[in-house]
Structure 1
């Protein structure tokens, strides 16, 4: 039999837990889905090693900053697409999870942990940061930054 105090503590705990459930447990709004669409399109292009498909969801002139071992490597989307879009025999795939999405009018950000897989095995992981803009009603990736490390836990 629960005491009134225990009931109170349990109800407060349940309310707090519901407030802080990860975003991945809640359905994304249509606007959030629209913001994620170019990110997914870029990842699909990467998996297909298709330079044109990698560039398609990006804003011309956009850049990437990839942090590796504490050192930034900067490149344009064009350079990135050329680099990743080369034919290869290894299968590559980037996956994000639990994205934090913020939208203000025609500006959005996506912050999400990621794993980068090579031939189905995690090669590196970190956090992706996408800055997006809405141009003519369509979301485009304006810039990307990420961290990359090898000490990934296997999921």
Structure 2
């Protein structure tokens, strides 16, 4: 996940921290990346599943026997003052193998000089290209 501009790196920092929290199954680390009450929408088979970041953190933060990892590439970052958006293709790995892929969309806000996730939505599909 490389960004060309320092401002883009700052916007991408909470996204990277979210993925690290997910990989560690650390609910608190996941919550810290976002505004309280931030919305998460997971699109699966054309149907949205909507939850708060707190519910998402609780769901992903449960101990598990599998290693999970989400990776984005070629992020498109747009910034206007204290508002930003990140659009990026992703792959989601379970025990090192691609489970699903799609596109992540993050709406970001800068609060007290720190970028936070205001909402995230993703598409998830199984017909992923083999890396």
- TM-score higher than 0.5: yes
Q: CA deviation at 1:154?
A: 1.4
Pick the aligned partner of 1:35 from 5, 11, 21.
11
Residues 5-154 of structure 1 mapped to structure 2, 5 A cutoff = 28-154=4-130
CA distance in 2, matches of 1:28, 1:37: 13
CA distance in 1, matches of 2:104, 2:81: 22
User: Which stretches of structure 1, 4 residues or more, deviate above 2 A after TM superposition?
Assistant: none
Q: CA deviation at 1:123?
A: 0.1
CA deviations 1:2-35 (Å, max 9, x no partner) are xxxxxxxxxxxxxxxxxxxxxx6xx521100000
Structure showing the higher strand proportion among its residues: 2
Q: Normalised by the size of structure 2, how large is the TM-score?
A: 0.97
RMSD between superposed Cα atoms in Å? 0.8
Unaligned runs of 5+ in 2: none
Q: Normalised by the size of structure 1, how large is the TM-score?
A: 0.83
Give the structure, 1 or 2, with the largest relative contact order (CA under 8 Å, sep 6 or more).
Answer: 2
Structure showing the higher helix proportion among its residues: 1
Equivalent residue pairs, number: 130
